[in-house]
Amino acid sequence: MPTTNDIYPGMVLVFRNALYRVIEFQHVKPGKGQAFVRTKLKNLTTGAVIEHNFPAGAEIQQVRVERRPAQFLYQDDVGYHFLDEETYEEYIVSNDLIEGKEFLKEGLVVNVLYLPEEERPIGIELPAHVTLEVTYTEKGLKGDTATAATKAARLETGLVIQVPLFIEVGDKVKVDTRTGEYIERVRE
C-alpha cells in the first residue's frame, strides 16, 4: 500500500470518499513535533481545490490512471475536445478539470488522464513546453541590450508573457508550461 512518502504531482488518490489529484506537495519536518506532508488536492468531480496535511508515512489509497496521447481539437460550452491518436475516439474533458488552458491550441498533442475503471477522462497532462506565435507586442528599443530587459507579449492563445526586447509580432516562442515563462525564440 503506498504511503505519503510516495506522493507525486499528478497522482490520483481516494480521499474523503472522492477522487483527488495531487497538484502540489511538500514534505515538512518542523523543529518540534512530527513530520507531515502538506498537499494541495483537486477534486476530480467538482474541480474544487483543497489543502490537507497528511502525517508522514500515512497510508493512502492510490487510483490507477492511464495516460493516452490525444490531439486537442477545439473547445465549446460542453468542454475541451480531444482525439485519441491510436483509436480515433473523441474525449470530452470538462472545463473545470483542465489546467493550463492558456497553452492549448488546435493540433497540440497532450496526454489525457483516464480512469479505466470508470471509463472517463479526468484531466490532461501538457507537454513540458509549447511553441506559440506572438500576436501583439510593443516595439523594443534599439540598443537596449545591456540589461536583460523584457516586455509583455500576447500569444495566439491569449496568454501574456514577458519576452526579451528583440521579439516581434509573428515570431514563434517556446514557453514552459509549468512556469509560463519564455524559454527561447523558435526559428523555422
pLDDT surpassing 90 at residue 114: no
In this structure, what C-alpha cell is assigned to residue 116?
A: 479505466
Look up the pTM and report it. Answer: 0.74
Shared-domain flag, residues 19 and 46: yes
Average pLDDT over every residue of 89-113: 88
Average pLDDT over every residue of 34-56: 89
CATH classification at residue 99: 2.40.50.140
Closest to 41 (Cα-Cα) out of 55, 26, 25: 25
Q: How many domains does the chain have?
A: 3
Q: How far is Cα 46 from Cα 62, in angstroms, rounded to an integer?
A: 19
In this structure, what C-alpha cell is assigned to residue 98?
A: 483542465
Shared-domain flag, residues 76 and 58: no
CATH classification at residue 8: 2.30.30.30
Residue type at position 16? R
Shared-domain flag, residues 44 and 80: no
pLDDT band at residue 23 under the 50/70/90 scheme: confident
Q: How far is Cα 138 from Cα 44, in angstroms, rounded to an integer?
A: 40
Average pLDDT over every residue of 100-119: 88
pLDDT of amino acid 142 = 64
pLDDT of amino acid 146 = 58
pLDDT band at residue 115 under the 50/70/90 scheme: confident
Q: Which domain holds residue 43?
A: 4-62
Shared-domain flag, residues 18 and 57: yes
